[in-house]
Amino acid sequence: MKLTRLFLLAISVSLFVSCSNDDDNDTPKGAYDNGFFILNEGSTGGGSVSFASDDLSNFTADVYKTANAGDFAGVYLQNIFFNGDNAYIIAGGSNVINVVNRYTFKLVAKIDSGLANPRYGVVKDGKAYVTNANTYSYINPATGDTDDYVAIIDLATNKYESKIDLNATANRILLENGKLYITEPYSSDKLLVVNPATKALETPVTVGYNADSMEVKDGILYILRGLSGASSEIVKVKLADKTASKITIPQAQGRAGYLDIYNDKIYYTVGKAVYAINATATDAATTPIFTATLSTGGSIYGFTVNNDKIFIADAGDYASNSKAYIYNLSGVSQKELTVGIGPNGFYFNN
């Protein structure tokens, strides 16, 4: 009997410790855990970052200012990427990356060297790889399309380390199977391929001009080309052999804007409408899921599908606070949030 009681006591203690550990694991790591950030590009007066909880019950209009009173996030906020407990906020107009704790948003460091109009970043093996647009072609026609590069940043020290010259324009960047894939939105019809191990360019892939949004699924890179006066396309690049095929979006629908992949579907925008097709589809959708109701003169400036919801950022007038809209996957409105100037992206902190 004593052994039985001791055995039961041991089980009880074990269960209590286990439950306590589970409870500890569920405890939020900070005020901005279990939610998503909305990056607001801003104007010459600076950008901002908004936050909403996953259940949409809590909202903070400017978490950077709230956590870092008196500090300036920078001009034209472009992108956020994560590594460990840190978030990295790229301010392209200020040539700076703000490093903050992703759960408290307290400033950790500023990376302010080796950058020239930084755009987007990814992380591999403790290094950040950040595309830099350098001098735009309208500023310096002689070199504006060929002087872009990827800055390599050591995230242990938050210091610029070196760069990879691209001899091309650089915009969005994606890491897959140890390679960096970079879209050239205007000056070339190529998808750049960079090997970070050798810091060398590999043979590019012809995908067409105006390649922009891209996502990868099951070894296929999906790239959206938004064209005016012609049919937009979803280009599918099989990464194993770099072969490309395409899905043509009817020109009558308008110019495509953004693409995201969620579960087994490709979601994309054309004008203010949102469409969806299966990832294995060979034809574009003929009917949208829904058409977003935006502000007067507004346009879709950011687009993401996650957590069974569709997130749309409204560019507004680029001069005053604008809106972010959340819909369910059927296109039924769930929430409308007033955010900062020029919201351009959603980043999930889970």
Average pLDDT estimate for 53-60:
97
pLDDT per position as a tens digit, 63-88: 999 999 999 999 999 999 999 999 99
Give the model's confidence band at 25: pLDDT under 50 very low, under 70 low, under 90 confident, else very high: low
* Three-class secondary structure of residue 281 per DSSP: coil
Average pLDDT estimate for 297-305:
97
Residue 17 has pLDDT above 70, yes or no: no
Q: Is the full-model pTM beyond 0.95?
A: no
CA-derived radius of gyration, the chain? 22
pLDDT per position as a tens digit, 32-52: 999 999 999 999 999 999 999
Q: What local confidence, expressed as pLDDT, does residue 139 receive?
A: 60
Which token pair is 247? 């899905």
Average pLDDT estimate for 48-59:
97
23 versus 170: which is more confidently predicted?
A: 170
- Name all contacts of 163-169 with Cβ < 8 Å and 24+ positions apart: 163/114, 163/132, 164/129, 164/194, 164/196, 164/199, 164/200, 164/201, 166/192, 166/194, 166/201, 167/201, 168/192, 169/133, 169/137, 169/145
Residue type, 5: R
Contact between 269 and 303 (Cβ < 8 Å): yes
Q: What is the longest distance spanned by two Cα atoms in the chain? A: 90
Residue 273 has pLDDT above 70, yes or no: yes
Residue 186 has pLDDT above 90, yes or no: no
Q: What local confidence, expressed as pLDDT, does residue 57 receive?
A: 96
Average pLDDT estimate for 183-208:
93
Q: What local confidence, expressed as pLDDT, does residue 141 receive?
A: 60
Residue 2 has pLDDT above 90, yes or no: no
Residue 292 has pLDDT above 50, yes or no: yes
Q: What percent of the chain has pLDDT over 90?
A: 86
d(CA 276, CA 290): 10
pLDDT per position as a tens digit, 88-141: 999 999 999 999 999 999 999 999 999 999 999 999 999 999 999 998 765 666
Average pLDDT estimate for 184-201:
92
**What's the mean pLDDT when you consider all of the chain?**
92
pLDDT per position as a tens digit, 220-250: 999 999 999 999 999 999 999 999 999 999 9
pLDDT per position as a tens digit, 150-176: 999 999 999 999 999 999 989 999 999
Give the residue among 338, 317, 318, 316 at the shortest CA–CA distance from 326.
Answer: 338
